[in-house]
Amino acid sequence: MVKLYTVVSAISIIAAGAVYAGDIVTGENSFSAVLDTGSNVVISNINGNITIEEWSSDQVLIEYTIDADHIDDIESIDVQCDYINGLFCEVTYSDDWDGNEVHFHVKLPESINLNLVMRTFKGCISLNNGMGTSLVEIINGSAVLDGFAGDLTVNVVTGDINLIHVPGLSVVNIVQGTLTGIIDDIEHDIEISTVSGLIDLVVDSSASISVSTMSGNIDVPGAEIHHDLMGSSTEFGNGEFRIYISTVSGDVIIRH
């Protein structure tokens, strides 16, 4: 059962209240609720960042700000947050939208498993800690993923992904972009694929790793690289879990 708490309207957009920072007009709002384990927290954004972190409260708090050039521009953006087995926030724009940004800041309880879905068409997603399952989807932007405890899937059309500590990482799909960072203490098999992009990772030496590319280069110190008509490949390691890495036209660099 979702326990609904007060909805705080820091700045009422309808009433045309606003905060001015230089030439930028900002509208703000926030929502909070106590959620059951396994509830959904879904943020679907168009143009702007999503930041997720933990805090000591038992509530999930969603705060958002709208940055625009004029008050009329704020009124062209509609942010709907609903309570249906969790918290769902979606951003829509009217026909006269002119590229204004909506930024979300989500705070999660420290010890509850939630199903997180974070989507942005253009922006950065920062996932800092959290438990449960998480889906990160980006059309054009970037993501920094650190400390999420649970199954994590990342889908990117164009963008850069930085992994810091994500033992529950499961799937990464990138059409065009880069994947950098560290993969350690993995909890299950991982599948990583790119169409066109660089993969540059430091990987736990206890994992079993399979790498293949059609037209890119593979750089793995100490590993034997095989070349044939289908491209290049290598396999090394003898761990409990396997990491599958494949690219079409990107380079792969793996270090221990």
Has residue 198 been placed in a domain? yes
Phi-psi region of 129 (alpha: psi -120 to 50; beta: other; left: phi over 0): left
Q: Judge whether 207 lies within some domain.
A: yes
pLDDT number for residue 205: 67
Q: 115-158: per-residue pLDDT in tens?
A: 999 999 999 999 999 999 999 999 999 999 999 988 999 999 99
Q: Does some domain include residue 215?
A: yes
Domain range spanning residue 216?
Answer: 180-256
* Most trustworthy range by pLDDT among 10-19, 66-75, 245-254: 245-254
Q: Which pTM was predicted?
A: 0.86
Q: Model confidence over 177-228: pLDDT tens digits?
A: 999 999 988 888 999 999 998 999 999 767 899 999 999 999 999 889 999 8
Within a domain: 238: yes
Residue 235 lies in a domain: yes
The predicted structure's pLDDT at residue 161? 97
Residue 1: C-alpha distances to residues 33, 34, 41, 62, 231 (Å):
10, 8, 14, 18, 53
Q: Give a yes or no: residue 243 inside a domain.
A: yes
CA–CA separation, 166 vs 152, rounded Å?
8
Percentage of the chain lying above the pLDDT 70 cut: 86
Please report whether residue 208 resides in a domain: yes
Residue bearing tokens 């989507």: 119
**What is the pLDDT, as a whole number, of residue 207?**
86
Is 14 a residue whose pLDDT tops 60? no
Domain total of the chain: 1
